[in-house]
Amino acid sequence: MDTELEDFKTAIDLRAYAASQGYQLDRKKSWRGNAVMRHPATDDKIVIMRGLDGHYVYFSVRDDRDNGTIIDFVQFREGLSLGAVRKELRPWIGQPPVPVPSFPELHKVEKDRMKVGMEWEKMREAVDGHPYLERRRALPRSLLTSERFAGRIRIDDHGNAVFPHFDAEGLSGYEMRNVRFQGFASGGAKALWLSHEFPADTRLVFCESAIDALSHAVLFPDHFARYASIGGKPNPEQPELIRAAAARMPHGADVVAAMDADADGRKLAEIVRHAVKLTGRSDLHFVVQEPEGAKDWNDVLRAKPLPFLPYGPKKEAAPL
């Protein structure tokens, strides 16, 4: 093993080196497991992660050929030989040659999660709405592009609606929906689809799918509600993510289990109820809400004309 090259890959924080080359961190697009950085002059956008082997790795969203370790980063941009790369990077093993921002430790991620992140970053954000969600699911463009859901819906090359799932480490996978199609990211892990969270929120609504959550937001407009979806049958890791999402709510908030009107939906509502109980917070108010006259909230949305009441009929669950 070439120990010097190994030191370059593990000891040099690629985020700091990229910052020395003019790249700036996009904090809104970054999370614990990756860093999204942009170059204001060239409009290049890169995603930096750290593998389980300790290597800092990156890929460019603009060019599929542009990826690898810090060595590849330097060679692709400067066209340097390996010997010249060594001269460029040796000072970085000691002290950075130029002032750079400090960064918190970048958590190591598995290769499958890296692949998920790479594919996710190639997708387009639904800044101009989404044909499938608007035409087939009756979801208004104003909702899809709102501050609450910005960046939480993307479009892949097949026109699928893509919804990211997040766990404690960040992006874990994504679900894909389209006409007669439902899939999940290869190598990804189901966690929770989440809307953005704001300090003044007073309600957290859990639904079975992201489309149902978006439909609920149309049916019962509430600027102080945040949303989450489980994505169907839960896995063993999701109850803890549900508990953590409930625990993040401000004092006195409502936690609503708005699942499908069937036996499976009621089982999911009980999982949410138990997770809320495990927060140990008596100030949280748990509520069950079911669609009336339809199986799920999107069926309700497509069947009934607007406007709707600001908040629909509720059924209180058993005490926690």
Query: What are the structural domains, with CATH classification, of the chain?
Result: 3-109 (3.90.580), 114-316 (3.40.50.140)
Q: So what's the pLDDT on residue 318?
A: 42
Tokens representing 53?
A: 């082997």
Q: What's residue 12's pLDDT?
A: 94
Which pTM value belongs to this model?
A: 0.71
Q: What are the phi and psi torsion angles at 294 (to 5°)?
A: -160, 165
**Which has the closest alpha carbon to 138: 311, 294, 315?**
294
What pLDDT does residue 313 have? 37
* 3-class DSSP state of 113: helix
Provide the angle, in degrees to the nearest 10, between the axes of the packed helices 70-78 and 3-11.
Answer: 90
The answer to whether the CB of 269 falls within 8 A of the CB of 238 is no
Q: What are the average pLDDT values for consecutive 10-residue runs of the chain, which has 320 residues?
A: 88 94 91 90 92 92 91 93 90 66 68 80 86 93 93 92 92 92 89 96 97 96 96 91 96 97 95 96 96 94 64 41
Q: Is the dihedral of CA 190, 195, 196, 200 positive or negative?
A: negative
Per-residue DSSP letter, 42: T
Q: Which two tokens stand for residue 145?
A: 């592009």
In this predicted structure, what is the pLDDT of residue 212? 97
Cβ-Cβ contacts under 8 Å for 6 (sequence gap 6 or more): none
Q: Which of 250, 179, 258 has the alpha carbon at shortest distance from 219?
A: 258
Task: Region of 138 please: left (phi>0), alpha (psi -120 to 50) or beta.
Answer: left
